[in-house]
A = this chain, B = another copy of it.
Amino acid sequence: MKLNIDPDSSVPIYIQIEDRIHSMIAAGQLQPGEQLPTIRELAADIRVNLNTVARAYIELDREGVISTQRGRGTFVSDVPNKKQRERKRQKLLQSIVENALEETHHLGYSAEEIKKAFAEQLSKLPEKREEKLS
């Protein structure tokens, strides 16, 4: 579980956890039925209080995307069918790309510039597996 949590970010840690798990499920990196790290495990892992992780899990449980069972653990919920999962996976990708393009466009960059920047960055992708976001 590499959550990439940033404790110095201004977005609350429990929200970051929710977002990451949401994304990982949508992207298929967490499969239905799979067990998530223990609250205490994850808390120790990202150096955060137990309550903070618990809060994230509780919210995700309320939404139905995970299922927490005291004494047993926490598991990714089952999801209707493959088509829906695939649709969500596509939607997630689209929204990430779309938001980035909206931002560049809003700032007045031309389609040409954007296209070029994208092509450059994409060509670098394979060599950049483990790099961190600033």
Contacts and interface: CB of A to CB of B under 8 A. Distances in A.
A29 B107 contact: yes
Q: How large is the interface on A (under 10, 10 to 19, 20 to 34, 35 or more residues)?
A: 35 or more
* Chain A facing B: main interface SS: helix
Interface string A80-113: 0000000000101111111111111111110101
Contact of A133 (B99, B111, B134): B99
Nearest to A115: B122
B133 A102 contact: yes
A27 B107 contact: yes
How many copies of this chain sit in the oligomeric assembly? 2
B15 A10 contact: yes
A107 B23 contact: yes
The 3 A-B residue pairs whose C-beta atoms are closest, nearest first, are A100-B100, A27-B107, A10-B11
A107 B10 contact: no
Nearest to A120: B94
A125 to B, nearest CB: 6
Contacts of A122: 101, 111, 114-115, 118
Contact of A111 (B27, B96, B120, B125): B125
B108 A103 contact: no
A24 interface: yes
